[in-house]
Structure 1
Amino acid sequence: MTLTRRAFGAVSCAAMIALGSGSALAQANLTAETSSPGNSPHLSIMHLADVLGRDGIANLQVQEGQTLTNSIQNVAEGKTDIAALPIVLHFLLEKGRGPYSKQGENGAKLAANLRALYPYNAGAYGLIAHTSSNIEKWTDLKNKTVFNGPPRGAALVNARQAIQMAAGYKDGEDYKGMQANWGQLANILVDGSADAFVVPLTFPSERVTIALSAGNVNIVSTPKEIFEGEAFQRLLKAPGNVPIVVKWENMGYGDDQGVTLISEDGTFRGMGTAFADVVNKDMSNEMAKAITASYIKSMEELKAKAPYAKNINIGVLDAADSGFCGALSLKYHPGAVEAWEEAGYTVPDCAK
């Protein structure tokens, strides 16, 4: 689906805005790609479309429901202006691996064309199961049927890693992995075909809400000792992974809603999926700065647009929490760096 978000009121394509540098920028027509509704990448891009139109910066034509593997390649090739990026894809594109194996050396050239505007995440991998299943710890997955993502891709790899780290179990040996496209998950959450689910969760999570229609739900955190251990911490440093730690009182569930967090200390811990919205390196500094500045001043508004938005690290630029640096070569656009620093934020030197 294609959506165009236009400036409100009397703002027209000829409108001008004053930038911090004192120059003026004509409202532009830009394109963007994002995922299907119901998650943070979609929320982030649609919010950006709203505020850029309202601020007279750009009319953003959004293609939603896209395969982001293709979207970032479109940005790298200059076919699309902005896209939501699971940042592990930048690493895979640069190395010519996974979905980009056919790119070869060209993958590195394409990856070098991408620049980030701002980071966020798409939740953390957690174990959820109906209370009636009697699954209260990761080792209870032994010989169970566990939904762990689509038939292929990063989500399936991450879910398998999360289970192996937390329980030492392998798909097909210790439990039966069940795979289906994300669009089928809503039905699987309630039809009883899977005993448990290891999927990315926001806080609160629409997936938990759907599962509640079939009975009370347990959310099982990664055990603290495992999460803080050397092996799991090494996993968290891999490109695209970030640590997610959320206290029960901030997870968005009431004590009487049928949701139970199983954790040693009332805190959820899990491996999160790092995202950024990216542009081509050839976007002008002026435009990248204007877009990012508009985003920065509207972050509190963004956090109020969805119940989970306050828990996706909006405005958190710390390298470890955002997934930048280390083995990831993705940098922020210089214009974005200017906007963040002028707003009083510290951009890690390794991400500039």
Structure 2
Amino acid sequence: MKRFTKTFAGLCLAGAMAAGTASAQVNLTAEASSPGNSPHVSILHLSEVAAGAGIASLQVREGQTLTNSILNVANGSTDIAPMPLILGFLMAKGRGPYSSLGEEQGAELAANLRALYPYNAGAYGLIALESEGIATWDDLAGKNVWNGPPRGAALVNARQAIFLAAGLKDGEGYTGHQDNWGQLPQRLVDGSMDAFVFPLTFPSARATMMQAAGDIVMISTPKDIFESDAYQRVFKAPGNVPIVVKWQDMGYGADSGVRLISDDDSYRGIGTAFADVVHKDMDFDMVKALVAEYIATLDALKLKTPYMKNVNLAVLDPEASGFCGINPLKYHPGAVAAWEEAGYTVPDCAKD
């Protein structure tokens, strides 16, 4: 095993409320998740640049439950929201959090959703305080592990990551603990958990927060397990994408208090594919203008928030983005036009 450290240097995406500037000609509503992750940053960035370019003023409601946000976009009560791709699939099938809709109504609503651009919310990984002495996924046996909110895709993926890496089941091999995302910051520093398994961006605001309690270790999924047939099947499920990030790109360095345990200087994990979505009936020119401005300001987004360099912004490849296959989500025609005019290739299977 190799051990590495790198300094975290992160800048928050502050001041995004410039969305209310008088230059914006159209008012749009948007919803965002809690601060500290790529879906939240993505929406606030769009809000800022759309206002700055005089395209639209986005009135953003933060800290929302995305399961509900996507339903609001589908029924036309909200204009834009971030969506883990699994939710579009579940809505279309009338399953999971949308089981009360039934398949027919769920399919009708899901058919209203269209994507602007793709990204991911980081890679599921194991993180713990150095003082806990955890160096492998197998070390989670008998431990108290925080593995997500009480229900939803995040908990499913975390449990799956642990089982595939160590063969341990929640409630049998280890004791899983769940809280809402808003309670995670307290958990990270209060010493109540032995380890955490959740999505990590690179560099990670959650890791920085956890360092208030001491130095930390991040443990990659072992390469042989990650490349096994069983693990690769996970990426056939809607919304899951493979993520591999080299240590030198993770945003840490010597004396940062962050150490990576990996086979080969790279971090591997299950990624959660996302897209910011709108209703299919949103005006073509409006969508094209929003996406064109987003594309034009990607460098600024990466500069403001360093971990956005590692979430596959502007990567339209189906395998990396989670599009196509059994994922029903397509790009809005206005988004397709903006991407293609910017020189990108939009897969035919992802076009409306």
TM score, norm. by length of structure 1: 0.93
* In the alignment, structure 1 residue 288 sits paired with structure 2 residue 284: no
User: Which of 80, 83, 107 pairs up with 2:81?
Assistant: 83
Separation in 1, partners of 2:296, 2:288: 12
Query: Do residues 241 (structure 1) and 240 (structure 2) align?
Result: yes
Larger CA deviation: 336-345 vs 281-290: 281-290
Change (3 A) 1:134 1:12: closer
Write the distance in 2 (CA, Å) between the matches of 1:46 and 1:207. Answer: 19
Q: Give the one of 24, 39, 49 matched to 2:37.
A: 39
On the 8 A contact 2:17/2:48 being kept in 1, the answer is no
Matches within 5 A, 1:2-21: 5-7=19-21, 12=23
**Measured at CA, do residues 5 and 231 of structure 1 come closer, stay the same or move farther in structure 2, by a change above 3 Å?**
same
| C-alpha contact 2:240 2:272 (8 A) present in aligned 1 | yes
Match of 1:126 in 2: 125
- Name the CA distance, whole Å, in 1 between partners of 2:18 and 2:262: 44
Give aligned pairs, total.
Answer: 335
Is the Cα–Cα contact under 8 Å of residues 237 and 320 in structure 1 kept in the other structure?
Answer: no
Give distance in 2, aligned partners of 1:123 and 1:112: 27
- Asked if 1 retains the 8 angstrom alpha-carbon contact of 2:30 and 2:59, the reply is yes
Contact between 1:3 and 1:63, CA under 8 Å: does it hold in 2? no
2:207–2:216 CA contact under 8 A, matched in 1: yes
* Residue of structure 2 in register with 1:20 after alignment: none
AA of the residue aligned to 2:262: S
Task: In structure 1, give the amino acid aligned to 2:125.
Answer: G
Report what 1:271 is aligned to: 270
What secondary structure, in the 3-state scheme, does the structure 2 residue paired with 1:56 have? coil
Contact 1:137/1:220 (CA < 8 Å) preserved in 2?
yes
Q: How does 1:147-296 map to 2 (within 5 A)?
A: 147-296=146-295
Q: Corresponding residue for 1:301?
A: 300
CA contact (8 A) 1:4 1:61 kept: no
Q: Indicate the SS of the match to 2:306.
A: coil
Distance 1:279 1:187 in 2: 34
Query: Deviations along 1:249-278, whole A, 9 cap, x unmatched?
Result: 111111211111000001000001111000
Q: Distance in 2 between matches of 1:302 and 1:310?
A: 9
- Please give the root-mean-square deviation of Cα atoms over the aligned residues, in Å: 1.3
Q: Give the AA of the match of 2:215.
A: N
- Is the 1:83–1:279 contact (alpha carbons within 8 Å) kept by the matching residues of 2? yes
What is residue 56 of structure 2 aligned with on the other side?
58
1:29 aligns with 2:27: yes
In the alignment, residue 23 of structure 2 is paired with which amino acid?
S
> Which position in structure 2 is the counterpart of 1:16?
none
Distance 2:35 2:261 in 1: 29
Q: Any idea what SS the aligned residue of 2:285 has?
A: helix
Q: What's the CA shift for 1:307?
A: 2.1
Once residues 264 and 4 of structure 1 are traced to their aligned partners in structure 2, the CA distance between those partners, rounded to angstroms, is: 44
- SS of residue in 2 equivalent to 1:207: helix
CA contact (8 A) 1:242 1:320 kept: yes
SS in 2 for 1:129: strand
CA distance in 1, matches of 2:55, 2:193: 47
What is the Cα deviation at residue 348 of structure 1? 1.0
Counterpart-to-counterpart distance in 1, 2:200 and 2:90? 23
Deviations 1:122-177 (A, max 9, x none): 11100011112111010111111111011111111110000011111100111111
Q: 1:4 to 1:252 in 2, by over 3 A?
A: closer
SS in 2 for 1:213: helix
Letter in 1 for 2:266: T
**Could you tell me how far 1:237 is from its partner in structure 2?**
2.1
Which amino acid in structure 2 is aligned with residue 226 of structure 1? I
Percent identity between the two aligned chains: 67
- Structure 1's unaligned 5+ residue stretches are 14-26
2: CA distance between counterparts of 1:283 and 1:264?
47
Partner of 1:141: 140
Segments of 4+ moved more than 2 angstroms = none
Q: Distance in 2 between matches of 1:237 and 1:262?
A: 27
Any gaps of 5 or more consecutive residues in structure 2?
A: 1-15
Deviation, 1:40, is 0.9
* 3-state SS, counterpart of residue 30 of structure 1: strand
Contact 2:19–2:52 (CA under 8 A) maintained in structure 1: no
In 1, the alpha carbon distance for the partners of 2:181 and 2:210 equals 14
The CA distance in 1 between the partners of 2:40 and 2:194, in whole Å, is: 29
How much does 1:236 deviate?
Answer: 1.5
CA distance in 2, matches of 1:87, 1:292: 19
Partner of 2:11: none
Preserved CA contact (<8 Å) 1:237 1:323:
no
